[in-house]
Chains A and B, each alone.
Chain A
Amino acid sequence: MSREAVGSDAPGPLEGLRVVDLSAVFAAPYMCGILSDFGAEVIKIEPPSKLDQTRGGGFGRYLRNEPGDDGWNWSGTFHSLNRGKRSLVLDLKQEAGRSVLRRLVDMADILVENFTPRVMRGWGMTHADLVTSNPGLIMLSNTGYGASGPWSGFKAQGTSLESTMGLTAYSGYPGEKPRKVGQSYPDFLAAWTGLYAILAALEERHDSGEGQWIDLAMYQLGPAVIPEALIAAQAGAEQLTCEGNAEADTLLSDVYACRGDDAWVAVAVEDDAARLRVAGIVRGHLSDDDPGLAELGRGLAAWAMTRTPDEAAETLQSHGVAASAVAAVRDLLLDGQFRHREFFDWVDVRGETLPLPGTPFVWTGSSTVMSRARAPLFGEDNETVLSSLGMPAAEIETLRRDAVVVDAPLGVQPPRPLDLDALVQAGVYREIAADVTDVLDKVRPHGDEE
């Protein structure tokens, strides 16, 4: 068992780049996790007495629900987002901590932070300050509303932002109120957009030799994924609303209940040729060989009832009709397509080899993109990172003595197990599955390692 994943020493396209990651929670940590997949060296700076919410607190999901005395090291959410990084625990409230940070930033290519705008200003660490000693530095600041504009100072969090961004207005059952869908979607839009901006700045730096500052406002990303609604709003046409699962570019689309418990198939009939093909498949449930869409929907519903979601989807796809089982995580792990493409990245966490969500592509060439290691334990790389600055042992000892650098969280209660039964009762989880170990054993890759 090792911290690094098998094959992690293969060079990535961003090999040789160094990232200092001051961020917490979802968007910016994920951005930096993916930079690590690309081969960059990422140092995550963590505060001594406030855990990243995905390490402990609200978003902690501890291995086997046994956090033990150091649960902050075993959260699956944290490992997914922070894979491949190193951890240095540094008290930035002390000048000595900020001084170490400045030395690290002076050696870095990229600095990512998601504090409220006043924090870095207060420390005298704006991009303008930092480039005086490191002109090539690229810095990304991720905030809810950005550094300019009338809402700049407002607090934001994914869920409330999602409504304001325009994303919920078009998600909901037909004719009903808007709803939030999925997890913290704005965070993921920000992660991908941040990468787009950082990599653009790196390209530009090849020419100018200079870095720049990226002001990433999550709120601003909403319009980019709802262009149809923006166009409709200006076209004098009927305004778009909540349409449930009906898609404007199909004749008929919905989910249909299948055989099994909470089993569903999603089907989209894109054009008239597909309508007739579906009519052929579900003929036994139709009163008409040339059914209208309502009749076709009823026929599909009756047909799907006697099939599993995978059977239904495979039959429809073999006739060129867009369809898929509504897959839960277990299904994704077992799915032939996801397995063929090795979507999941496997890392060792507390003695178990476990899957993390990987990158959504297969990368072929002389460089490699992958989760290079599990996420770091709290402060796991304190020594290594400080030594890499050429810092003598005595100085490191002083930093430890003054609690500028700490090896275990200060004043933080160890996370407690989740009350899983209560969460099932409350409907947050459908079940606590007994089959997870079997599923993982079945799909875990067997490499050359013992």
Chain B
Amino acid sequence: MSTRKAPLDDVRVVELGVGLATPLAGRLLGDIGAEVIKVETPEGDPTRSEAPYYRTDDGEERGALFEYLNYNKWGVSLDPGTDRGVLDDLLSTADILLIGDDIGQLATWGIDVASLHEAHPGLVIETLTPFGITGPKAHWKATDLVLQAAGGLLSFSGNAERSPLKRGLRQSTFQAGLTGAYVAEAALLGARQHRGTVIDISMAECVASELVMTIPEYTFLGAVSTRRPGVVDPLSGDPLPAGSGYVSAQVNSLTPISVFADFIGDQRLAEPQYETSEGRATRAAAVGEIFRSALENEQPREFFERASAQGLLAGFVQTADQLLECPHLGAREVFRVMPGTLDGRPWRMPATLASLSHTGTTVRREAPQVGEHNEEFVSRPKAGVL
């Protein structure tokens, strides 16, 4: 790594953010050098109290997820409803203002994005809320499930004979955080010529923007995608039981089924009835059983590494604990050691998304306490004193 500056070295971001997506966007900007000031009301971001908790070196308990989403930030506390002058002063020194995930808060705080834009014409203002801040559903509430429903993903996810099935955990919320980061960067680059911008991101639309095939299937063909039948071709990548877990394997024109038959050492798989995807789908149980018995004594990881080394398209279902121990992610230095201890031991979280040859992801500070840096960033007296 050379001595080149971090990309957002001289950029100041003010984050009026609670929850998951906006704080992730803020942190990603901090990771590439921005000075991110997280503004919270004195009660703090509710994510602070989401368990599990890690223990700091001083013996304090703090939310682990909050720490992950908010390191590389400074902390200021004020009540935007009453400390307007203080907030305005802070914004007059900022390049980017991030607001989200809770749209209700804007009204509570009396924040009107259009007048902020007028008062700070050079500022990039980005909101990141479930449905966006304009339109008839602007005030609708959402969880990850609701975002996936509203964004079109659920309509074709899951099993045809059963109910629609969501993608696990809060993946759609975090993906909106990724969008929040790149969009803010684009606006910042544009601000050199075009001054400030207001960007109103909808998390439901972030989900819909994934449907680059499903949307044209309907609009170009009239074809309505749906949940798949319960029985699909087992060699289309769906998890297959093997050893102590699951593997996945994909047959395509370059790697026909015979290659897999040789690979697992069971020529039954090379029989003609399994040659086509339809043939395998109608005999899914038999194909699954051939795989299961062939791979009974093989660990999924071994199967994956052996198959991939031979040029086959393969995978295996990994859980979080396996990812943490993954030699490949280890070699690429994806995880960083987090502060304090979790369950009495050091803990790690992903810190590097993409590797840039001259710009490392930097970790400069732990997540702030509420108002920890008021003295550094807020020149006027605190809330209630005005």
Contact = CB atoms under 8 A, between A and B. Distances in A.
A392 B191 CA distance: 38
A157 B313 contact: yes
Interface stretch (A94-102, A213-221, A402-410): A213-221
A292 interface: no
A170 to B, nearest CB: 3
B328 A207 contact: no
B237 A430 contact: no
B224 A433 contact: yes
Contacts of A196: 28, 178, 181-182, 185, 353-354
Given A81-B212, A203-B189, A230-B324, A430 B224 contact: yes
B163 A366 contact: no
B201 interface: yes
Give the most central of B135, B163, B167, B220: most A CB within 10 Å: B220
A207 B4 contact: yes
Interface stretch (B36-44, B147-155, B370-378): B147-155
A64 B191 CA distance: 42
B199 interface: yes
B186 A180 contact: no
A68 to B, nearest CB: 14
B173 to A, nearest CB: 9
Given A223-B350, A235-B343, A322-B146, A13 B194 contact: yes
A150 B147 CA distance: 37
Contacts, number: 567
Given A169-B317, A177-B241, A233-B319, A329 B152 contact: yes
Nearest to B250: A160
Contacts of B188: 203
Contacts of B32: 200, 203
Contact of A178 (B203, B317, B320): B317
B131 interface: yes
Chain B facing A: main interface SS: mixed
A120 B152 CA distance: 38
B83 interface: no
Interface stretch (A1-9, A250-258, A278-286, A383-391): A250-258
Contacts of A360: 176, 179, 201-203, 205-206, 208-209
Given A161-B315, A266-B146, A324-B146, A30 B166 contact: no
A288 interface: no
B8 A332 contact: no
| Nearest 7 pairs of A and B residues by beta carbon | A13-B190, A76-B216, A170-B168, A159-B237, A360-B205, A160-B315, A76-B220
Given A11-B193, A266-B150, A365-B187, 19 more contacts: A150-B327, A159-B248, A163-B316, A169-B319, A188-B210, A199-B182, A201-B7, A204-B6, A210-B358, A217-B354, A227-B349, A231-B349, A235-B342, A320-B141, A322-B142, A326-B164, A337-B202, A360-B201, A360-B208
